[in-house]
Amino acid sequence: MDPYSTFVGPSEANLPAGCISSNQLRTEKPSCSPQGLESGRKSCGTASLRGWRRVVLHFTPSWFAITMGTGIVSILLYDLPFNAPWIRYIAIVLFCLNIVLFLSFSLISVLRMHIHEAKLGTMTAAWLLPIVSPIVAAASGALVAGAMTENHPSHALWTLVTSYVLWGCGVPLAMVVLVMYFQRLALHHLPTPEVIVSVFLPLGPLGSGAFGIMKLGEVANVLLPITGTLPAVKDAMAGGILYILGFAVALVMWGFALVWLFFAVASITRTRFPFNMGFWGFVFPGGVFVLATNQISKELPSGFFKVLTMIFTMIIVLLWIFVSVRTIEKTLTGKLIFSPCVQQYQENRIKMTRCTSGEVDIVSSPNGCGNSATRGEITCAGL
């Protein structure tokens, strides 16, 4: 079934056999005048798309970067080292706004289908986005377990164990993808300007993983002696070991994130890129990196890391404001409601429609034996 037939008109199966066949000859793309493209769009049914159908058709998972960025900004504002009550109220408002955005985007995602082809040469750090989910869930589980430690230690213990398992599912897999991504950057060119901001995404799993393992160790240090977990270890050593190990691992991950931050900054300084939804890739990865920095400043404690947290937080908040304003502006003008993969799909459909109407020349493709093609093998030039 054609996944986009609901929105863009008849599927390719309904086009005449003389337009396209299994033995296609790809030649130079024909030039298209604006009038010809508009004619093709009307034939395919794409010109009539308005309102929610157009939004659903061109919706991509990149829009979830808005919820990730808004959520991390609310967390940073709520947990500032030098805070004030009015700042926390702003954080709560942003949190509620983020819930509304997440539910809306989830509903739109259910209404559409997404198909893509994965190749190493076209790989971006967006492959990390699904992997970040269990890592963030592990960090959230540590916070929940910490809140239940005093009154419900047994529930807190199971939450803690589950969070460690989630962390173990996400972080090693993220490291595997980072190795693949490093290979892709070493063997191929930098990502295209439209997705160059994705070079900041490795900060996401590293920052949230560092924060999560520190919080898990902090909870384990208090909870394990209460529940008597790991009785073979004397006194409170079990929780203390996990606490120290968590901080050590987090510090290493934070250092690794610094390396990727250097790579990312070096990449964008060499490329001019237009504003698009990828700009939200600045906010969440940078935000969780700052969150890990803030937690390190609490554990050491360190005035240097506290000041660094304040500076980074101001940068992230300013980035969020800038990206939010540009997103609202371009959404109202309709320039952001655009999906490159769907656009390419529609252009191919337009060319096939123009073939059937005689606007594009047809050529014959030779068969496997070197003879001339039959009528059924005739195809559109440029398809």
pLDDT of residue 69 exceeding 80: yes
Q: Show the tokens assigned to 120.
A: 């190493």
Lowest mean pLDDT among 18-22, 179-183, 246-250: 18-22
- Provide the β-strand partners of residue 362: 380
* Distance set, CA 357 to CA 18, 44, 47, 246, 383 (Å): 11, 12, 17, 66, 15
Q: Among 74-83, 112-121, 213-222, 262-271, whose mean pLDDT is lowest? A: 112-121
Q: Label residue 123 left, alpha or beta by phi (over 0 means left) and psi (-120 to 50 means alpha).
A: beta
Residue 282 has what DSSP assignment?
A: G
- Banded model confidence at residue 150, pLDDT cuts 50, 70, 90: confident
State how far the alpha carbon of 179 is from the alpha carbons of 40, 200, 213, 220, in Å.
Answer: 43, 15, 21, 31
Q: What is the pLDDT of residue 377?
A: 37
Of the two residues 73 and 9, the one the predictor is more confident about is 73
Contact, 69 vs 321, CB < 8 A? no
Mean pLDDT lowest for which of 23-32, 64-73, 84-93, 263-272? 23-32
Q: Which two tokens stand for residue 270?
A: 């060499």
Q: Which of 67, 55, 94, 65 is nearest to 78 (CA)?
A: 94
Give the mean pLDDT of 352-380.
44
Q: Return the HEC string of 211-246.
A: HHHHHHHHHHHHHHHHHCCCCCCCCCHHHHHHHHHH
Rounded distance between C-alpha atoms, residue 60 and residue 139, angstroms: 26
- DSSP assignments along 162-181, one per residue: HHHHHHHHHHHHHHHHHHHH
Task: Name the amino acid, one letter, at 40.
Answer: G
In the chain, where are the structural domains located? 18-56+340-380, 117-332
Residue of 258 and 1 predicted with greater confidence: 258
Greater confidence, 370 or 109? 109
Q: Give the bridge partners for 56, in sequence order.
A: none
Are the CB atoms for 216 and 142 separated by under 8 Å? yes
Q: Is the pLDDT reported for residue 5 higher than 50?
A: no
Query: Region 114-142: what's the mean pLDDT?
Result: 79
Is pLDDT above 50 for 46? no
> Which of 12-21, 241-250, 259-268, 339-348 ranks highest by mean pLDDT?
241-250
- Helix ranges (H only) for the chain are 5-8, 34-44, 51-58, 64-78, 85-110, 129-148, 153-187, 203-227, 237-268, 283-299, 303-332, 340-356
With 0.75 as the threshold, say if the pTM is over it: no
